[in-house]
Structure 1
Amino acid sequence: MAFETGAGGSQFGQPRFFDASVTTQDSPTAAPRNQVMSVNNPLHFGSTSVFLLGNGYAPVITVRDKTGKVVMREPVVFRPQDNNYTSTGAVKVRATSPQLGFEGIFAPTISDQNLRANPVSDFPGPALPGLLLTLWQGELFPDGALQSVYALDTSKMTQPKTAAGLPVRIALRLGETKAIAGDRGTVTFESLPRFAGLSVRYDPGKELTLACSLLALAGLIASLTIRRRRVFVRVREQDGRTLLMVGGLAKGEDVRLGDAVDRVTESILEELPRHES
């Protein structure tokens, strides 16, 4: 991924390309292949197509307890909120008592002043990444209820305060480690991998679907272009004579309906026996 860096230009910060290099195998025994996928260039292997839908940052965060033991180390997906990739996410540390949670804001490029006061990214590329974490403690998953991985349920958590009565916040730069207030351990901003949103599509019946769609379209065209007529014939005996009545009905206006009725009448008369007087 690359962004326009021309200072002062109207295209500053605009994306130039989104590419992902991946390794695929058509089957477990097939040889692996290196392929590149992009927004308008889906990945194909076997009967499967993979489309690139989105992307963002997933900072690797390490949390240690007060003894120095690692209680969490994993990439945390932060969802972009604007074109400069100001992103939000939640860090959940289960292996502590009480459990710890952090509401996070990530900016790929931000000054020290803005990181603490107005955490909004200045540029979508990772030129000067910063991470701002707000601390909570308590029960991460109240009553075992399911919750979003991107948000923190604080209904059964409390927010530690500083000596000035403000929420505890930790501002981190890439590679930086800071202590968690209250002798709760440390948190480290380890590295900055990226994540990609993918859509995997497998359509084994698309040929059959296409054929049925074409047949339905042909039927629709035929119903709109072919004139539909109905001809009614009634034959009865009256006073020793055979009376023949022929009528026609068309859907909509049909100036040739009369000719069609005449042709049917003539065909019937030709088949009737003639009596000479």
Structure 2
Amino acid sequence: MSVEAPPRPAAPAPPPGPSAGRRLGGLLLRWWRRLTAMRTAIVLLFLLALAAVPGSLLPQRALSQNNVNQYFADHPELAPVLDRLYLFDVFSSPWFAAVYLLLFVSLIGCVVPRAAEHARALRTPPPPAPRNLLRLPDSGRLAAPAAPGAALDVVEEELRVRRFRVVRREGARGPELSAEKGYLKETGNLVFHLSLLALLLGLAGGKLWGYEGSILVTEGQGFCNSFQQYDTYSAGPLVDSGDLNPLCVDLDQFTAEYEENLTAASFTADIRYGAPAGEERSRTIGVNDPLRLDGDRVYVTGHGFSPTFTVTVPDGTTFTDLTVPFLPSDLQTLASEGALKLPDIPGREEQLALEGFFAPTGLVQGGVLTSVDPRPLAPQVAVIAYSGYLGLDSGLPQSVYSLDQSQIERGRLTEVGSANLSVGESFDLPDGTRITFSGVKEFAALQYSHDPGQLWVLGAAIALLGGLLGMLLLRRERVFARVEPSAGGGGTVLTLASLTRGGGESGSRFDALSDDLRDALAAAPPARTAPDPEVPPRD
């Protein structure tokens, strides 16, 4: 007879694995912990500093488009590659913004929980003394004639004098004492990182709501705070032209002083400023002494010369006080180059332009005009006159300080005369037009700057320095003490230990504390011994 085997029970189903949502949550949690770790914040801070290096080595469009154009002309193969990497717009590039935002988030995630933990630690009493105090790095035993309670009183008084926070407890091995100080070290650490966070916020606010503009102002002229008037300007993405503070500045006189070796000693500008159609005030500003008004600043960033010409056309019409700034090409002698464009002259069918070289102290060597001194001791100008079409209405941008060379190469502008002139001298063009070099004025390069985060950045920098000093100079220190009756009676054995974090020199500090406690315990009143019980006499 055959016996059927009983059916095998079905294998238990495997436990359900984690859902996709839980796996994603765990992944995000691990990523967040890595991002908010202090090591990550330090790496991001280093990357931010490293990313700013190209911005100081390469010309930036936000500062000088002309320098960027010159770099393209000098490096026609390398410049397009660098441009695709945003190396001419470093501080507005996506990769710089990514590092900046990651550092910002990392600092928030790192500092805020530590600040909450530190706040709880300030309200938490010092921890109980460890079971075996002699295992701590700095520890020892002191014999004291005082009673256990009196010995702890002496230790407590000595520690409170040293600004420790003291808590006494009744431990398993007898009365004990815990003391702690140095909370300001962690406070300094938090202040340092919070200040760094505030510094980043201030810099970001200055970039978002700040703006600046540069302009060359000749003596007797002025400007108003408007993007339309600046030669170059940069503004944050949240700045509108209507947000600019109403202010106008007029340059009365510019003064440059030089040392005997012709190096610049000081640049000062006498200006008048005020709201449009408002009361004007006078002020003298310098390179390191700007005009400050409610967060706005007007700086002197440079200077040069503006030759003045007089043009007389054949019909007798005279155009006077034609002044144009010439940009310095040699900062040592202030030899300068510039152009004067005259698109509309009555009686002339063709447009007229003057391109010149100005020498404050001119000297002709081999027929070539050079400058030997930055001071205007003998002003001279070498002028080339062109006639034709300037191309100002072509829709293509061109510099106001130079002629469009493409117009000359195409033959639309032709040379019609040239001369080296001193002040008061003239030369005539073939059509009878007379060009006179009538004088020279000085101009100041002024920069108007508005940075709403300036004071915020200053306060954050000061707080950052204070927090750093607290981190470096303060110590976190804990002291534990436990008393036990002496084995022979009539005294106390004090076990003392300390644990110091940061600052070093823990051994010498513990020895100094032990010596002071030994002296204080020696001066304490001794413990009273109980009298022997009276024995009744025997019969």
SS of alignment partner, residue 193 of structure 1: strand
1:145 corresponds to which of 380, 396, 412: 396
Alpha-carbon contact 1:136-1:154 (below 8 Å) kept:
no
Label 1:184 to 1:46 Cα distance change in 2 as closer, same or farther (>3 A).
farther
Distance 1:213 1:101 in 2: 52
Other-structure match for 1:188: 436
1:156-167 aligned at under 5 Å gives the runs 156=407, 157-160=412-415
2:334 corresponds to which of 77, 80, 85: 85
Other-structure match for 1:22: 271
Alpha-carbon contact 2:390-2:413 (below 8 Å) kept:
no
Question: How many residues are aligned here?
Answer: 211
1:202-241 aligned at under 5 Å gives the runs 202-209=450-457
Shift of 1:30: 6.6
SS of alignment partner, residue 370 of structure 2: coil
Label 1:183 to 1:53 Cα distance change in 2 as closer, same or farther (>3 A).
same
Shift of 1:22: 1.1
Shift of 1:125: 0.6
2:377 corresponds to which of 117, 127, 145: 127
Alpha-carbon contact 2:303-2:445 (below 8 Å) kept:
yes
Shift of 1:187: 1.0
Bigger proportion of residues as strand:
1
Shift of 1:211: 5.8
Other-structure match for 1:47: 295
Distance 1:211 1:39 in 2: 24
1:245-260 aligned at under 5 Å gives the runs none
Q: C-alpha offsets along residues 141-178 of structure 1, whole Å, 9 cap, x if unaligned?
A: 162422001111143334336xxxxxx31222112232
Shift of 1:104: 0.5
2:421 corresponds to which of 156, 172, 181: 172
With the length of structure 1 as denominator, give the TM-score of the two structures: 0.65
Q: C-alpha offsets along residues 210-251 of structure 1, whole Å, 9 cap, x if unaligned?
A: 56677889999999xxxxxxxxxxxxxxxxxxxxxxxxxxxx
One-letter identity of the residue aligned with 1:120? T
Label 1:29 to 1:126 Cα distance change in 2 as closer, same or farther (>3 A).
closer
Alpha-carbon contact 1:81-1:88 (below 8 Å) kept:
yes
* Identical counterparts, % of pairs: 30
Query: What CA RMSD, in Å, does the superposition of the two structures yield over aligned residues?
Result: 3.1
SS of alignment partner, residue 155 of structure 1: helix
Alpha-carbon contact 1:67-1:185 (below 8 Å) kept:
no
Shift of 1:106: 0.3
1:48-63 aligned at under 5 Å gives the runs 48-63=296-311
Other-structure match for 2:248: none
Distance 1:97 1:154 in 2: 21
Label 1:140 to 1:212 Cα distance change in 2 as closer, same or farther (>3 A).
same
Shift of 1:127: 0.6
One-letter identity of the residue aligned with 2:426? T
Distance 2:269 2:403 in 1: 30
Please state if 1:106 is matched with 2:355.
no
SS of alignment partner, residue 357 of structure 2: strand
Bigger proportion of residues as helix:
2
Other-structure match for 2:531: none
Higher relative contact order (CA 8 A, sep 6+): 2
Other-structure match for 1:164: none
With the length of structure 2 as denominator, give the TM-score of the two structures: 0.35
Moved over 6 A (4+): 212-223
